[in-house]
Amino acid sequence: MLMGLSWRLVCICFVELAVAASMSGADGTVRRALPVQPLPAPQPSASPTFPLFRTSGVADDPVGATGASIYPADAPQTAASSAIMIDARSGAVLYMKNPDIRRPVASTQKLLTALILVQDGNLDAADRVISADCQVEPTKLGFRPGDVYSKRQLLAALLVHSCNDAAVCLARNEAGSLSAFAERMNAKAFSLGATESHFVNPNGLPVPGQYSTARNMARIAFAAYHEPILRQYMRLTGFSFTYTSGRHRYFEATNRLIARSPMFTGMKTGFTEASGRCLVSSASYGGHDVILVQLGGTLHFLFDDAQRMLIWGLDRDGRAVASR
């Protein structure tokens, strides 16, 4: 039965990739315009529904796996230096590889920034841009001092296209200063069990003393995945941003995985020279949901590794694996 499920999942991915290829010209250019996806409308709830959120036991070592550098031994492997996969409903570990090594995690820590903002609420409140917000590099929204945007607009830019200037603007307006927001990030991380992490800024750009682990990021991602609003944003393949001037710009998602199949439900990419390629990804199929964290990877393998491992994870019974 598991073999049959794996085959069906693989077929879904290959069929959708074949359709995308058939829509390209001989020179590889796509013959259709990119779809303009509006921001998701506020919703009181969103499917799928999850058990009551908890923090205890999330991403803890399975029985008999404590101290193992790789678990289980027969799992497909990733080129990432550190990785962990958990059941997104129970928090049980399905796979891990060097999960407790401290390392920079780049823009994947924007999941924590977004989590704080969403849990604070009032996403339709206005945030004003100041000059310091515009000086952040390299991935930028490109707004100007004096512009005013809703938190909802900036949150989309942060999660979908990983805009560093949007993260700074949001954090400063939310907490009064970047240092104050970093204190909130560390407090929230600690409350989620991410006790081997220290965050200094809201966007993950390199700075001394900023680090996390694959296990800690899985605990943060678990909390983010249980927020319906974040799930709506993280699965967008792109969105149209309207500037104060009236200009429109389309931003594609940095997460290439979500365009491959609807089963891939998003989360967050990250890259700096110090961190290597990082990806927190998620997938859902047949009532199963999994989250994968890859840190210190390479662009050549990152998304293909994620696809292969997520399909493997969807074919597992998280409770059975955790109880071995």
Name residues whose C-beta falls within 8 Å of residue 193's C-beta, 6 or more positions apart in sequence.
55, 56, 58, 59, 216, 219
Predicted pLDDT of residue 52: 61
Q: What is the pLDDT of residues 211-260, one digit of tens each?
A: 999 999 999 999 999 999 999 999 999 999 999 999 999 999 999 999 99
Angle, helix 164-175 to helix 151-160, in steps of 10 degrees: 140
Which residues does the chain have with pLDDT short of 70? Answer: 1-54, 317-324
Q: Do 282 and 264 form a contact (C-beta atoms < 8 A)?
A: yes
Does residue 162 carry a catalytic annotation?
A: yes
Tell me the domains of the chain and their CATH numbers.
56-322 (3.40.710.10)
Which of these is catalytic: 82, 97, 151, 162?
Answer: 162
Q: Which two tokens stand for residue 161?
A: 């296209």
Predicted pLDDT of residue 9: 54
Handedness of CA 240, 241, 247, 251 (dihedral sign): negative
Task: Give the residues across from 155 on adjacent strands.
Answer: none
Q: Which two tokens stand for residue 179?
A: 């240092």
Which of these is catalytic: 97, 110, 151, 188?
Answer: 110
Handedness of CA 305, 306, 312, 318 (dihedral sign): positive
Q: What is the pLDDT of residues 169-218, one digit of tens each?
A: 999 999 999 999 999 999 999 999 999 999 999 999 999 999 999 999 99
Residue 232: closest CA among 89, 47, 40? 40
Which of these is catalytic: 82, 107, 212, 282?
Answer: 107
Looking up tokens 């965050």, which residue turns up? 199
Does residue 282 carry a catalytic annotation?
A: no
Query: What mean pLDDT is reported for the chain?
Result: 86
What is the chain's alpha carbon radius of gyration, rounded to the nearest angstrom? 19
SS3 breakdown of the chain: % helix, strand, coil, rounded to 5?
35, 20, 45
* Strand-pair category, 248-252 with 238-242: antiparallel
Does residue 191 carry a catalytic annotation?
A: no
pTM of the model: 0.85
Task: Give the residues across from 288 on adjacent strands.
Answer: 285
Residue 12: closest CA among 285, 204, 315? 285
Predicted pLDDT of residue 26: 36
Predicted pLDDT of residue 32: 31
